[in-house]
Structure formats: structure tokens, C-alpha cells
Amino acid sequence: MKQSQLFTKTRKEAPTDEASKNAQLLIRAGYIHKVFAGGYTFLPLAVRVLDNIAAIIRDEMNAIGGQEMQSTALQSKEPWILTNRWDDDVVDNWFKTQLKNDTELGLAFTHEEPMALMMKNFISSYKDLPAYPYDIRSVFRNEARAKSGVMRGREFYWKALYSFSQNEEEHAVFYEKAAHAYTRIFERIGLGDTTYKTFASGGTFSKYSHEFQTICDSGEDTIYIDEKTGIAINKEVHNDEVLAELGIEKNTLIEKKAVEVGNIFSLADKFSEPIGLTYTSEQGKPQNVFMGSYGIGISRLMGVVVETMSDEKGIVWPEEISPFTIHLLTFGKNENIFREAENLYHDLKNAGIEVLFDDRDLGPGQKLNDADLMGMPYRVVVSEKSVENGGVEITKRDSGDVEYIDQNRVVAYFTEG
């Protein structure tokens, strides 16, 4: 896309009311716009990042049998009353609203209850199990405070998969598959080295749940990492009993601040029992369906990448989720140089490479600053200086490494790896 056409603009200063680095950088670079505290519009550049993250998640969820659907945002209260989660004293972050006839509705903060209720239409026999529906959509949490930018929004974009199994054995197999899929997702996004599968409190029905925690100085969680085994433990279960059980020595653990980017839960019949989601087993007996839930914060992941991978100049996107692979820049008034840049833009596009072409009538300083702020992994400059140096200048955003290569070899450089 030509940058002159992009309706967003960069800005030098972050708004004074934004405390978090991720919101400051994403606003300055034209990725998000604040509507209210914790509510951000995703601008075209951010939609590209979120779509890229969602595509990776979708791919991995489909590979383990997930089926994408689209739950409603507005929720009827009936199933939430059955599980005792409708009351604001029990769940303190509901947004609620009502129909004209005063029927109360909730804005979904998660979907265990409506999913369990809906699945009563589709599950009656063991032959209908297992089932793995999932949503990729926005949900709503009425947080008391919203100071972490898109790392903790009041309206945020996530993936939530719910598993419906015959029993704990069938569930456990899928739970492990989901854990592996999560590991692959964070690797593909570029957070593999800093994200740990972390033992956390399991709630009522299982000893542990697992969180996926990414090391981040501004994170709200504290985890303890055993680097030898790769095991991490959330502070909430960091005690002698758990350490003994996991075979870990206290003095090898490193304490880190972290952000929870995903979690997986065994729910057993916590929701299926009160909602009456049962099936007839192979032996002809009525049984409660064994449930699990598996969440990943998509807009939070965008925030975590910005928070942990940016530098003093701006954002540094990993290639697989970057809005564009290449930021193509050209400088100066030389028409031949501009035409060369434009030709290269079309050649790269025709080769299927995503390119943002800064065709604006601005000086090199502003264009270079914008490129650093916006964070595409490769900056390609076509200028009189680059031609003198042998063609085009390719700079990697993360390392700063520079290469000059012949213009005719640029497409091959990007398509042949």
C-alpha cells in the first residue's frame, strides 16, 4: 500500500493520559485510537497485525480439531444464574444492559455458560463427543482500572476454545494437544523464547491450570522459572509443597515479572452439571460432559510484543505478524529514483510480498523516523546514495544490519529467503 493513501498518521508525542509503553507507541505510530479508558479502535495497521495473529491461532486450532463459530456479545442471564455467575457480587467485571421490556442482558466476558447451554442441542450421545467449538471475537470486562493499554482492555479481542469430552481421560489427551498448539502459536508469533508454560492455581476441579506467561517488566504477574527444566510456576502456587511435587529446588528458581498471554483450564463438570449438559455413555448411562477452556488474548499479544520488543526508536515487529514485511522508502527530488522505487514496489507486490511504500513528499529524516516508529522488519531505501552504494539499501529493523544489493536482486532476496 502507498503510505500517502493511508489515512492514519504518526505523531511525535504520546497522549499525556497514556501510562503504558504499548499504548504510547501504538498511538504514536497510528495503530490504535483511544475511545475511552481501556477501549481502543484498531486502525488499519493494527487490523493487519491482529489478522496475522488470528490466522496463526486459527491454523493451530483447526489442526487440533477446533471449529470456528461466532458467539454473541449479548448474553441472556439464564445459564449464568444456573452457575451462580450472574450476580455482580460474584463476578465483579460484568457490563450489563437491558431490552426495552427490561429483560437483563450481559456483555460476554467469556462464554462457558452460553456454550454449555448451546451444546445441549448437539450433544446427547457419546457419539457426539468430543467437540471443540471456538470463537475469535471481542469480549468485555468492566475492569476497575485500565492503565495497561491493550494489554488489559475493557473491550479486547481474543480466541476462546471450549472442549467437550466424555471423561477425564479423553479430556487429558486434548488438553495436552492444546498445550502443544499453544507453544507453537507463541513460537510462530515470535514470543517462543520468552513465553513459559506456567503452573498456576487450578480452581475448584483440578490441582493446576496452565498459564502461558511472557516475561515482561511491566507484567502484572510474578513467575518463578527453573531454566534447567523449562518449568515455570506462578507466585500463587509457589510453595514448598508444589516445588516438592514438581521436583524443583527453590534456589534454582529465577523470579520474573510476566504477562499471561494464554491459559488452559480443566473444568470437569463445573458448568455441565448445573446447566444439565449430559450425554448417554456407551454403557447407556447418563453422564456429565467433561469440559475445558482455552483462551488467548489477541489484542493483548499485540501489546506484549510492543511492550517487550520495541526499542527507543519505536516498534519492532516479528516478521510473521508485521502489518507489512517491507517498508519501502525513497528520498529526494530525482524523478528517475522515484520511478525506480515505484517499479520496485510493483515488482515486490506482484511477487506476493506485503509492502508499505512511503511515497510521501517528505524529507529523509521524517521518513526514517516514521519507519523506525512503525516497525516493519525490513526497511528498503531507494535513493541517490543507495544507487551509489550498489542499488538499494536493506536494513533489518531488529539488528540494524545493513546490506546494499542490486535492485534486480531485491525480489529474489525476499522470496528465496
Which residues are 221's β-sheet partners?
Answer: 258
- Asked if 23 and 306 count as a contact pair (C-beta separation under 8 A), the reply is no
- How near is the Cβ of 94 to a copy of itself at its closest, in Å? 9
What Cα–Cα distance (Å) separates residue 306 from each residue in 24, 151, 284, 314? 10, 10, 53, 9
d(CA 409, CA 416): 10
Stretch binding a copy of itself (CB under 8 A), from 130-138, 197-205, 242-250, 282-290: 130-138
Q: Which of residues 88-117 bind a copy of itself (CB under 8 A)?
A: 95-100, 103, 105, 107, 114
- Asked if 374 and 329 count as a contact pair (C-beta separation under 8 A), the reply is no
Nearer to a copy of itself, 124 or 252 (CB): 124
Buried b (16+ CB within 10 A) or exposed e, 83-110: bebbeeeebeebbeeeeeeeeebbbbeb
Which residues are 39's β-sheet partners?
Answer: 36
d(CA 132, CA 39): 30
Among 19, 63, 72, 245, interactor with a copy of itself by CB under 8 A: 72
Q: Does 253 bind a copy of itself (CB under 8 A)?
A: no
Q: Does 64 bind a copy of itself (CB under 8 A)?
A: no
Helices 298-309 and 21-28: angle between axes, nearest 10 degrees: 90
Residue appearing with cell numbers 506484549: 304
Q: Does 8 bind a copy of itself (CB under 8 A)?
A: yes
Stretch binding a copy of itself (CB under 8 A), from 125-133, 167-175, 237-245, 376-384: 125-133
Nearer to a copy of itself, 129 or 304 (CB): 129
**Among 291, 233, 29, 245, which residue's Cα sits nearest to residue 150?**
29
Stretch binding a copy of itself (CB under 8 A), from 46-54, 226-234, 330-338, 342-350: 46-54
Nearer to a copy of itself, 26 or 200 (CB): 26
- How near is the Cβ of 291 to a copy of itself at its closest, in Å? 14
Among 14, 33, 147, 172, interactor with a copy of itself by CB under 8 A: 33
Nearer to a copy of itself, 64 or 242 (CB): 64
Cell of 215: 516475561
Q: Does 41 bind a copy of itself (CB under 8 A)?
A: yes
Q: Does 347 bind a copy of itself (CB under 8 A)?
A: no
Q: Does 144 bind a copy of itself (CB under 8 A)?
A: yes
Burial of residue 333, with CB atoms counted within 10 A of its CB: 0-12 exposed, 13-18 middle, 19 or more buried? exposed
Q: Does 74 bind a copy of itself (CB under 8 A)?
A: yes
- How near is the Cβ of 22 to a copy of itself at its closest, in Å? 17
d(CA 234, CA 224): 6
Stretch binding a copy of itself (CB under 8 A), from 7-15, 178-186, 235-243, 401-409: 7-15
Burial of residue 33, with CB atoms counted within 10 A of its CB: 0-12 exposed, 13-18 middle, 19 or more buried? middle
Nearer to a copy of itself, 8 or 222 (CB): 8
- How near is the Cβ of 111 to a copy of itself at its closest, in Å? 9
Q: Give me the residues that bind a copy of itself (CB under 8 A), please.
A: 5-9, 11, 33, 35-37, 39-44, 46-47, 50, 65, 67-76, 95-100, 103, 105, 107, 114, 118-119, 121-122, 128, 131-133, 138, 140, 142-144, 154-155, 157
